[in-house]
């Protein structure tokens, strides 16, 4: 039985300096093999302690029961702040709560129906760009996912000049930005410089300038009554129900930056791995292609409910290759985990990568089995051990958006193309900003007879 690719874990103990070097290159292969079995593991550095937790009741305590006691770690935020500023992805406390009160209504279930035409148009555009032959699907998936976000946010396709410039600069930023910078390991006072790389800061500045131009253009439209009913309009015009204030201009730029980054980076990662898995398992590919026959030019939002197999496959892809492999919280007061003292200020690491493949929780943890979601084990793990979008109060507001977009794109592509693996080396997962393939994912696309 073919197993989906998985990075080789570190087997032996290594000095801290070697671990930090390995961590900056790839956080997945830098971790010890035992994390796939452990309920909890402690890591010691000269400056702080970190605890990785895989035990479901501890994860529930951190994310759902006491989220205010375990806010996002400021250390991890340092590396992304030049681009994301005070976005909802980085903030904590009252600032974060206010931002979510404004943002959440834009992603309510009923609102997703309104963005479906943008998703559908982007999926058709993605299929039209595919030419038979060998394609590097990560790049193609990134382009397609960015197209969805620009259409849903600003009602412009990726071909729009500013949208194209932002996308290209995001690609440069993604390749330059390490997942952590020095401030993640060494506590620095606020007044000290953060040692961000010069090219990373320049790229972040350029992206923000472009977003400002797009945001300023849209800000003028509601006043003239010409603004489309898209996510940007909703975010700009929704007041905080407690204070009545809307996002200020700089706040809006911060939120757009995270929606563009998270919205296209995570979706692109998941779609690329889903396509690779379909090439690796042609029987499942054929089943999805047959199911996708329900899609046509007149398809409306209700068709999403008919893509059940595609949803199972996409969910299994998120289990095996969660786009965000690790999340870090910081406890605000002393805690006790598994009879072990966890000092105030410790880093609490939640790793979807290890949790989703945990050997004590999942049946066949490293295998590809979309049917698992209909078993007792799969249903239990879906509830207790599945965190592709985090959980609790800080669950990703775009989770519902992603679970419509992913199956739709996967189905639409497989309706038109048969895909298979090439002679390139199998992709090796590594963690950059999201889980990507070390040297890309190359697949051969062939038009299906009905589309030829």
> pLDDT digits over 105-141, tens only?
888 766 788 899 999 999 999 999 999 999 999 999 9
Asked if the model's pLDDT at residue 217 lies above 90, the reply is: no
pLDDT for res 224:
57
Give the side-chain half-sphere CA count within 13 A for 398.
23
**What pLDDT is recorded for position 225?**
63
- What is the spatial distance between Cα 296 and Cα 415, in angstroms, rounded to a whole number? 10
For the whole model, what pTM was predicted?
0.92
Reply yes or no on whether the pLDDT at 445 is more than 70. yes
Residue 261 pLDDT level (bands cut at 50, 70, 90): confident
Q: State mean pLDDT over 47-69.
A: 93
Task: Find tokens 């969910």 and name the residue.
Answer: 315
Instruction: Please give the angle made by the CA atoms of 313, 315 and 316, to the nearest 5 degrees.
Output: 65
- What's the number of CA atoms in the CB half-sphere (13 Å) around residue 152? 28
| pLDDT of res. 452 | 44
By C-alpha distance, which of 137, 155, 198, 143 is closest to 443?
A: 137
Tell me the domain boundaries of the chain: 16-451
Quick one: which of 103, 101, 111 has its CA closest to 240? Answer: 101
Q: What is the pLDDT of residue 31?
A: 87
Strand runs labelled E in 312-416: 327-330, 335-337, 340-342, 347-350
Closest CA to 356 of 383, 406, 322: 322
State the DSSP code for 159. Answer: T
Residues present in the chain in total: 452
What is d(CA 88, CA 104) in angstroms, rounded to the nearest whole number? 11
Closest CA to 149 of 208, 195, 107, 89: 107
Q: What is the mean pLDDT of the chain?
A: 88
Q: Which residues contact 395 (CB under 8 A, 6 or more apart)?
A: 389
Q: Find out whether 445 and 413 touch, Cβ atoms under 8 Å.
A: no
Which of the four pLDDT bands, split at 50, 70 and 90, describes residue 216? confident
Cα separation, 99 vs 254, in Å, equals 11
Compute φ and ψ for 324, nearest 5 degrees. -100, 105
* Rounded mean pLDDT, 84-112: 89
Task: Give the whole-angstrom CA distance, residue 3 versus residue 357.
Answer: 13
**Average pLDDT of the residues in 245-271:** 91
- Residue 176 is predicted with a pLDDT of 62
Please give the structure tokens belonging to residue 409.
């794109």
Query: Residue for token digits 């007792």?
Result: 376
Report how far apart the first and last C-alpha atoms of the chain are (Å, whole number).
32
Between 17-26, 62-71, 430-439, the lowest mean confidence (pLDDT) is in 17-26
Cα–Cα distance measured from residue 254 to residue 384, given in angstroms and rounded to the nearest whole number: 32
Residue 51's H or E segment, with its range, is strand 49-53
Region 277-302: what's the mean pLDDT? 95
The pLDDT of residue 246 is above 50: yes
User: Are the beta carbons of 272 and 141 closer than 8 angstroms?
Assistant: yes
Tell me the two tokens of residue 41.
């593991």
Higher pLDDT, 395 or 226: 395
Determine the Cα–Cα distance for residues 166 and 210; give it in Å rounded to an integer: 6
41 with 51: CB under 8 angstroms? Answer: yes
Residue 181: pLDDT over 60: no
Summarize pLDDT for 371-406 with one digit per residue, the tens: 999 999 999 999 999 999 999 999 999 999 999 999
Is 16-451 a CATH 3.40.47.10 domain?
no
Task: Give the pLDDT band of residue 44 (cuts 50, 70, 90).
Answer: confident
Does pLDDT of 360 surpass 70?
yes
d(CA 358, CA 354): 6
Are 395 and 64 in contact by the 8 Å Cβ rule? The answer is no
Tell how many helices (H) and how many strands (E) occur in the chain.
Answer: 16, 11
Q: Given this model, what pLDDT does residue 191 score?
A: 44
Lowest mean pLDDT among 16-30, 79-93, 266-280: 16-30
**In the chain, what is the greatest distance between 2 CA atoms, to the nearest angstrom?**
64
Alpha carbon distance 175, 304 (integer Å): 34
CA proximity to 73, closest of 92, 88, 100: 92
Q: Is the pLDDT of residue 182 over 50?
A: no
Q: What is the mean pLDDT of residues 219-246?
A: 83
Give the mean model confidence (pLDDT) for residues 29-51: 87
pLDDT value, residue 223: 59
Which range has the worst mean pLDDT, 1-5, 61-65, 403-407, 410-414?
1-5
Q: Cα-atom radius of gyration of the chain, to the nearest Å? A: 22
């Amino acid at each position: 039985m073919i197993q989906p690719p998985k990075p080789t874990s570190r087997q032996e103990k290594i000095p801290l300096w070697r671990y930090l070097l390995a961590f900056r290159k790839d956080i997945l292969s830098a971790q010890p093999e035992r994390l796939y079995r452990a309920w909890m593991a402690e890591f010691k550095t000269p400056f702080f302690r970190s605890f990785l937790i895989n035990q479901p009741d501890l994860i529930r305590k951190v994310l759902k029961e006491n989220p205010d006691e375990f806010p996002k770690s400021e250390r991890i935020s340092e590396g992304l702040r030049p681009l994301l500023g005070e976005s909802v992805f980085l903030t904590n406390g009252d600032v974060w709560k206010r931002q979510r009160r404004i943002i959440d209504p834009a992603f309510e279930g009923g609102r997703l129906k309104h963005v479906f035409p943008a998703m559908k148009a982007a999926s058709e555009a993605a299929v039209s760009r595919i030419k038979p032959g060998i394609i590097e699907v990560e790049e193609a998936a990134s382009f397609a996912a960015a197209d969805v976000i620009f259409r849903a946010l600003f009602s412009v396709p990726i071909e729009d000049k500013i949208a194209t410039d932002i996308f290209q600069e995001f690609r440069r930023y993604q390749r330059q930005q390490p997942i952590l910078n020095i401030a993640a390991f060494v506590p620095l006072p606020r007044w000290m410089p953060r040692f961000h790389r010069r090219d990373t800061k320049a790229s972040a500045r350029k992206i923000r300038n472009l977003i400002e131009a797009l945001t300023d253009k849209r800000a003028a439209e509601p006043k003239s009554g010409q603004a489309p009913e898209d996510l940007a309009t909703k975010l700009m015009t929704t007041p905080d129900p407690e204070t009545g204030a809307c996002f200020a201009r700089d706040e809006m730029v911060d939120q757009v930056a995270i929606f563009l980054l998270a919205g296209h980076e995570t979706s692109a990662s998941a779609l690329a791995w889903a396509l690779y898995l379909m090439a690796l398992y042609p029987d499942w590919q054929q089943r999805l292609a047959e199911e996708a026959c329900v899609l046509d030019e007149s398809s409306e939002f209700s068709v999403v409910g008919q893509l059940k197999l595609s949803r199972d496959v996409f969910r299994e892809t998120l289990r095996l290759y969660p786009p965000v492999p690790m999340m870090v919280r910081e406890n605000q007061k002393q805690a006790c985990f598994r009879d072990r003292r966890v000092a105030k200020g410790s880093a609490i690491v939640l790793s979807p990568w290890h949790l989703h493949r945990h050997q004590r929780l999942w049946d066949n943890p490293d295998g590809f089995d979309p049917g698992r979601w209909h078993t007792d084990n799969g249903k239990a793990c879906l509830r207790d051990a599945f965190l592709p979008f985090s959980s609790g109060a800080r669950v990703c507001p775009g989770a519902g958006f992603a679970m419509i977009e992913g199956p739709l794109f996967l189905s639409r592509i497989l309706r038109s193309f048969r895909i298979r693996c090439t002679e390139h080396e199998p992709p090796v997962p590594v963690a950059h900003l999201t889980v990507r393939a070390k040297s890309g994912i190359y697949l051969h696309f062939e038009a299906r007879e009905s589309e030829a």
